[in-house]
Chain A
Amino acid sequence: MVHDLYQETILDHSKHPRNCHAMAGANREAEGYNPLCGDKLKLFLKMDGDKVVDASFEGSGCAISTASASLMTETLKGKTRQEALEMLEKFHDLLTTDTPVRQDLGKLVVFCGVRDYPARVKCATLAWHTLKSALTGAEDVASTE
């Protein structure tokens, strides 16, 4: 059923996205683009050494991509660079493999329904692709393609 995809948490975060604003004093920024649907996203990180102390985003997209960016920025705060990149891998596995859902993803498990909607995986991963380029310093716009 379609409610498996649009779980309550996802609808809540898409309608009321958290951390949805530009950030003064950010020391890492990256832009993401999904050419399939035209969604654009800008991610702001404030890093203290190796640690993410604040994260926010700007941009508009579908419910899945907005909720994903919102939940990602909430999750990132306090994580080290390495922990964030590991989380990205786990999140990607959650969406694209049949492996059992890992509870250490916390709230992000609400996206497990996306695996039944292959056309929507890129919506859920846009924010995370952008995170990767923010953390690894790639200068190009992150693309889901």
Chain B
Amino acid sequence: MSTLSSRVSAPTPAFGAFDVERIREDFPVLKQTIHDKPLVYLDSAATAQKPHAVIDAIRKFHEVDCANIHRGVHELSQRSTAAYEEARGKGRRFINAKYRNEMVFVRGTTEAVNLVSSAWGRKYVKQGDEIVITALEHHSNIVPWQMLCEEKDAILRVIPMNDRGELLMEEYEKLLNPRTRMVAFAHVSNALGTINPVRQMIEMAHAAGALTLIDGAQAAPHLKVDVQALDVDFYAFSGHKLCGPTGIGFLYGKNKLLDAMPPYQGGGDMIRTVTFEKTTYNELPYKFEAGTPNIAGGIGLGAAFDYVNGIGLDKIAAYEHELLEYGTEALTRIPGLRLIGTAREKAAVLSFVIEGIHPHDIGTVLDRQGIAVRTGHHCAQPVMDRFKVPATTRASLAFYNTFQEIDALAAGLQKVKEIFS
């Protein structure tokens, strides 16, 4: 594959100030072989790998500080409460929210969307109201709104996209009207990599009097998010896609909106006083955090914020863009391969099909060469329908990937073609 490498800007272990080899040392999982080949992990859009810093923070919590949070007067409870709440503060700074009480811990992006569709939707959406989503959404930003529309007899509208996987803004404009209550959309598409013009989309929604929710699952790990600059009403993201553990994430919501919403789940921690006659609810954000949360997860996520900030999202975004360009060129050169998702603004996702070869066969042959990619519909079946494919193979890149790994992918795909041609 040296011919591939030599044609594009030379890949070197240290890319400018970005020393990927040193960064890879932080990720123990990457130092293994799969089927006797070095692991090439190209599935970070599904979940990102975890650095020592995150693993150690979770271990330290369980070994040294483990206790339930809030209301404990003993030392361990105070330590765990402090660490958990510190992680909330780190989350606030990570997306530049104004107040820490706007940061609600949730299980992940899916729960965040469900929280809004349930708590906000139940109170504010009426019969005949309209919710707008887009053609490139993950199922988690489709189904909760469908369920709400079914319950309320409201109408779900979908912004279409072009063949590159870019939303048609003029069609979006036409969908907005005085009945539009909410516009919910991905910041970055998981299946296509498209980076949506979110700032403009928010302005248009607000001009029509609608609120906005962004599914930031694929954006938060790869580009700088500033919820105040965006003026977005709700922003949802998961910890595990930005090197934190699974089962933890955040819902950001403007506090006047969160304050007016009824609780999502009832239970401990979300209350102020309980009698059998009447319960009063806790202040924000605890009103939305019933039950013992994923404490270790929150603390691990706090460590992940520190880790990612230590490298710098600007550097991460620049390096990943180089990887994307290199990968796009390498894959485009393979005869019969068609990229699905060629937006002009794109994150480091390479989704593709190869004429006559099913993605599952591609995935299996690549796996035997140590290369981990995702195959299937990527929880975005409407996207597959739009491009008239049953499934795609998706290589998704992160800042710990290398140019050599993209060469390995290209070589692996040649092998796929040898077997099935």
Question: Using a CB–CB distance below 8 Å, which chain A residues touch chain B?
Answer: 1-3, 5-6, 11, 14-15, 36-40, 60-64, 117, 119-120, 123
Contacts and interface: CB of A to CB of B under 8 A. Distances in A.
Interface string B354-380: 000111110011001000000111000
Interface in B343-398: 357-361, 364-365, 368, 375-377, 381, 384, 390-391
Contacts of A1: 368
B124 interface: no
A35 to B, nearest CB: 9
Contacts of B377: 37-38
Given A2-B368, A37-B391, A38-B384, A11 B375 contact: no
Given A11-B419, A60-B390, A63-B420, A37 B364 contact: no
Contact of A117 (B359, B364, B390, B420): B364
Given A2-B368, A37-B390, A38-B391, A63 B358 contact: yes
Given A38-B390, A123-B360, 4 more contacts: A2-B368, A37-B377, A38-B377, A38-B381
Q: Which of B365, B384, B390, B420: most chain A Cβ within 10 A?
A: B390
7 contacts: A3-B419, A11-B420, A37-B360, A37-B390, A37-B391, A38-B377, A117-B364
Contacts of A38: 376-377, 381, 384, 390-391
A120 B391 contact: no
A139 to B, nearest CB: 24
Nearest to A2: B368
Range of interface residues on chain B?
10 to 19
A2 B420 CA distance: 12
A5 B375 contact: no
Contacts of B360: 37, 62, 64, 120, 123
Contacts of B384: 38
A14 B419 CA distance: 12
Nearest to A60: B390
A38 B368 CA distance: 23
B364 A2 contact: yes
Q: Which of B361, B375, B376: most chain A Cβ within 10 A?
A: B361
Contact of A5 (B364, B376, B390, B391): B364
A3 B384 CA distance: 30
A6 B360 CA distance: 12
A6 B421 CA distance: 13
Nearest to B381: A38
Nearest to A61: B358
A37 B384 CA distance: 11
A70 to B, nearest CB: 14
Contacts of A39: 390
A15 B358 CA distance: 11
Contacts of B419: 2-3, 6, 11
Given A2-B419, A37-B376, A37-B390, A120 B364 contact: yes
Contacts of B364: 2, 5, 117, 119-120
Contacts of B365: 2, 6
Nearest to A119: B364
B358 A62 contact: yes
A99 to B, nearest CB: 23
Nearest to B419: A6
Contacts of A3: 419
Nearest to A39: B390
Nearest to B375: A37
B361 A63 contact: yes
Q: Which of B364, B368, B391, B420: most chain A Cβ within 10 A?
A: B364
Nearest to B362: A62
Contacts of B358: 37, 60-63
A64 B376 contact: no
Q: Which 6 A-B pairs have the closest CB atoms?
A: A62-B358, A38-B390, A62-B360, A2-B368, A63-B361, A62-B361
